[in-house]
A and B are shown apart, each in its own frame.
Chain A
Amino acid sequence: MKRLQLQRWSSTVLSPRARTSNKLHQHLYSASLRHQSTVAPLQTESPTQNVIEDASLDLEDPELKLRLDSVHKRKSQLKYPSPPVNAAAESAKLAALHARLYLPSRLPLETLARTLVDVSADPNADFNNESLATLGHDLLTYYTSEHLLATYPRLPLTVIFAAMYAYVGPKTLAAMSKEWGVDVASLPGGEVDPGFLQFKRVEPGTDLSKATKGKGPRPYAEAKNWRKTVTSKIFYDDEFGDPIKGSNEAGAGVPDELARATAVRALMGAIYLHSGRPAAKLFFQQHVLSRSLNISQLFNFSQPARDLTRLCARENFEKPVAKIISETGRLSRHPVFVVGIFSGQDKLGEGAGASLLEARERAALAALKGWYLYSPLNVRVPSSMEEEGAAPWKPAYVDLGEVIS
């Protein structure tokens, strides 16, 4: 497979303000972009000069000129809702963040600054991180889901949703951005240091569930008593099994958690665009997959014994039978029973409890977890085939599906 030259086509996603490296593009665009009111003129011609010439002031005194320059610079900064592109190179915070995350050198500071501008701060799609976040979210959820499905092929769908939420949910991403040391600006604006995350906060007392307009893709979403099956969640809901909400109203604020999560997603998208797939995958492995999660603690069974019976019937195993392995203090105040669940002569699981019923439930639960947490040897994810010189693909283990009762 021929590799794409990312540097070239990634520039179409970035704003003209962010294009600093490509001299040719600057030259081409400089004439046409003048007419756009929302896009700042390029660095070749500074806006302050125009204003000064128009005013036809006396420019003999260099000190006066310097002061005027700074005043005009500040005025031009205040004109925009987010910091201008040339401020990114001067920000020490941004450079420190770039180095702290070991970001690839091909990712310019200007794009890093753009990932920190939320839609609520700058509604202009050329300068906020919405497009990058969409790409980054897709990448994050794709890499996580393929990792989960390849490593634990038998996980039930509800647990996959929970694990996805644990790895790349908004709460985790917000915690990640805090652990990276990303600070939040109190109010967004053109004069703010671009190293701060900029977004408009939600007004206190806003009902977040009602703040959205439009509706999600699920039909009859208003019907309260309708059953929502787990299967329908795959089609209509998002990656975490939550209903998709409509887009936010223009000018509405966003919660801190969501703004932070969007910034992390945008960074992932930016790395992919500037440095390509290997760098993005490495970033994902280092920052998302390296976090610790005990998948066995994500299960919540209501009737494990019944589910286990169904499972054994489906897989043509002998009927599971609960047997007491050992016990102590049956007639005391604190008895302990250790019960094992056997299918034929094979022990499927065991559990200890203060009553026979509790021990049996726990044993059935251990047996079910033993089934669901099966992990094949030498796990490979589909995206590993995109690497150069990858070994031929062997089909991954695919399970029948969860036990439905």
Chain B
Amino acid sequence: MPVQGLRTVTSARNGVGAFILQCKRLDFHYCNHGGSSRGMLAFLTQTLPEFARENPQIEVRVAPRHGKHPVIKGQYINGREKAICVRNMEPGEILKKAMILKDASGEKLKRTKKPVTSLNESVRGIWSPYHGDLRGV
């Protein structure tokens, strides 16, 4: 057997070809009677239809939760969930929170220490002491 092939799986590079928005679903929970939901109710009636129209990739669900503060929950492709409580907020602030959830990747927030994270090899290769201009001793 001269040479065998090793089976692997290609790894995704989101955004290199197509970009898949990582936020899958947004759940808007509100209460009909609670005072903290007043801004949320206004948001649901005024801003949400336009928000949903601008972001067709996201499935939007609106559901009442009686006697609780209003909450926006985002479901992500990696299976995680993020929730933001929007009690006593104005519709404009709620829209900002919804945008935060929309733009999130779903991963836990991490501090990035390297300026570049890449799957590609470095152009100049890994430095080796045995290459380059060798000097005779």
Contacts and interface: CB of A to CB of B under 8 A. Distances in A.
B45 interface: no
Given A156-B2, A302-B2, 20 more contacts: A96-B57, A100-B20, A101-B20, A102-B18, A156-B3, A158-B3, A159-B3, A161-B5, A162-B8, A166-B7, A171-B9, A172-B10, A180-B20, A287-B17, A291-B10, A291-B17, A292-B16, A300-B3, A302-B3, A326-B134
Contact of B13 (A290, A325, A328): A290
A163 B21 CA distance: 28
A290 B16 contact: yes
Given A163-B5, A290-B13, A93 B59 contact: yes
Nearest to B15: A290
Contacts of A178: 77
12 contacts: A95-B59, A96-B58, A96-B59, A156-B3, A161-B5, A285-B17, A292-B120, A298-B6, A300-B3, A301-B4, A302-B3, A303-B2
B20 A181 contact: yes
Closest 5 pairs between A and B when the two form their complex, measured CB to CB? A290-B17, A162-B5, A99-B56, A286-B17, A291-B10
Interface stretch (A69-77, A133-141, A397-405): A397-405
A293 B1 CA distance: 24
A289 interface: yes
A167 B20 contact: no
Interface size class of B (residues with CB under 8 A): 20 to 34
Contacts, number: 125
Given A299-B3, A301-B3, A293 B20 contact: no
Interface string B59-81: 11100000000000000010000
A234 to B, nearest CB: 14
Describe A's contact surface by its main secondary structure. helix
Interface of A: 92-93, 95-96, 98-102, 156, 158-163, 165-167, 169, 171-172, 175-176, 178-181, 241, 285-287, 289-293, 297-303, 307, 325-326, 328, 336, 338, 352, 368, 372, 402-405
